[in-house]
Structure 1
Amino acid sequence: MITGITGQDGRYLAELLNSKGYEVFGLVKGQNNPRVELIGQELPFVELVSGDLQDLPSLVAALEQTQPHEVYNLAAISFVALSFKQAELTANVTGLGVLRMLEAIRMAGGSQNNPIRFYQASSSEMFGKVRETPQRETTPFYPRSPYGVAKVFGHDITVNYRDSYGLYACSGILFNHESPRRGLEFVTRKITNAVARIKLGLQDTLVLGDLEPRRDWGFAGDYVQAMWQMLQRDEPEDFVIATGKTHRVRDFVAAAFTHAGIEDWERHVTQDPRFFRPAEVDLLVGDATKAHEKLGWKPEVDFDQLVAMMVDNDIEVESRKAGLA
């Protein structure tokens, strides 16, 4: 069972599990979720189940209905900028939602009798104002947003339930991972979509916030492989998943324009203070040595390939929408 089935990670993970012969259930909130139709078209093998991370009885009912061997909790209020504006909602879903799912698993017998294995989507945003570089599993957390704070709670409560109740529960501390399926509200997809539209003559300017923060960017399709691998081990452990390489937002912008064949990208880009965070995370870069050694996991798609993949997809999408394809 996958929560967050409509997000990029949920969709890539569902495809991976289906390829391995899993019966895949996706948890969706509400009767009129606008993305349900997309899942039906794109992932017809997924059986959708009603549930809400803000409602414990619905999670218990979903587990009783599906009887899963593995639960992947990928759902969250995951847009960092929004978390500053809706901090309480972020805490309730991204933080307490993890507690409710763990409690539901415990109530459903997630230990000896019905050993449900639980994966929690932790985040590099937990490191925030970093204490050491690169960041690894033992690096102290210093979150710089309500989202990061909520993720720290979700991470720590997962460790607590593992220690307290013997649940098979682990967290993947995933650094930034992107794909053509990334939402348009995220800066990477905002960039590649705008570059595509500028290339096609549909717009002229890309408006961004701070161009200097550095991130460790990988491909979501690679990262869901690591999620699955974590749940196949005899004992649950937490893992940093990252490429170990860092680039500025500015570098992502330059690579996207270059791939689209547009020179002098600076004349198309403006900065707006409204898009600056109240507290910025300046540098994130992960050390995935433990994942390399214990999982045998390594990323296959590099930074330039990722940017090219996203730009090409957005050129195709925008060409089709504009009747140019």
Structure 2
Amino acid sequence: MRHGRRLFALTFLLPPLALYAVFVLSPYAQAFQISATDWKGLSPDYEYVGLDNFGKLLEDAHLWNALKNNAILLVALPIITIVLALFFATMLTVGGRKGKAGVSGVRGAAFYRVVYFFPQVLSVAIIGVLWKEVYAPRSGILNGFLRAIGLDSLAKPWLGDPDLAFYCVMAVMVWSNVGFYVVLFNAAMQSIPKEIYEAAMLDGAERGTVLRKITVPLLWDTIQVAWIYLAVIAIDAFALVQIVTNGGPGESSRVVGLYLYEAAMNENKFGFASAIGVALFFLTLSIAFVSLRLTRRERIEL
């Protein structure tokens, strides 16, 4: 009987596992092989060059510039997104008016959850095109709004300024991700007994104190997961940058994922591009491991 159940389970598991191996694991393995060659991508001919491609990475100023932008995203994106998401989730859960009986969120909390989550139903392509139009110097909504309220001096060519373009893309990344984590943290906060919040409010605790002393410690596991996911998004960041600025002006907003794409598709350096991908793979694993170690805390049981 037990043998029959195992056979039944394997019958359903083997096809998806085989597809995963062919379409996910196999390309990963091939990338490691290609990274040790000088393959141009247009012919079956190539030569093994060993670790030469990785040596070139260390001397490539363009790669280091892209890596610098990814490092800024790696620090700023998780911090800004998580702080905003925690604030909004707190307001939606326990941010009701003072003096009101019990613990409740702000008025219209259900509507705000939908508004915050809305960017998640849009594809990255739509978000990129939408914000590219928002930032347009002449017809864009942002400059149009500034001129309408008499702040013409603040109207700028946002995506054409090397000092601003990268941070404009970062703002879009925060906007497109914060809603998901608002809903995630809000759902996690529903599991915290209301009595804890009520006791804190009876003791006269301010909302900021409640957030720091109660919400954050009790949601730490969820925050840790959010940090890892946002770190992975920051290391990649290819699609949005490619659509909004294409790495420009110059190389001011280029990220490593875009540089990999350009090396493969524009310069036909598939071996070199695969070496970038392999390096990015190990960088992502290392950052995830370090983040888990640094943010590890003792679990608080309710």
| TM-score bucket (shorter structure) | under 0.3
TM-score, with structure 1 as normaliser: 0.21
Higher relative contact order by CA 8 Å / sep ≥ 6: 1 or 2? 2
TM-score, with structure 2 as normaliser: 0.22
- Greater helix share, 1 or 2? 2
Bigger-Rg structure (1/2): 2
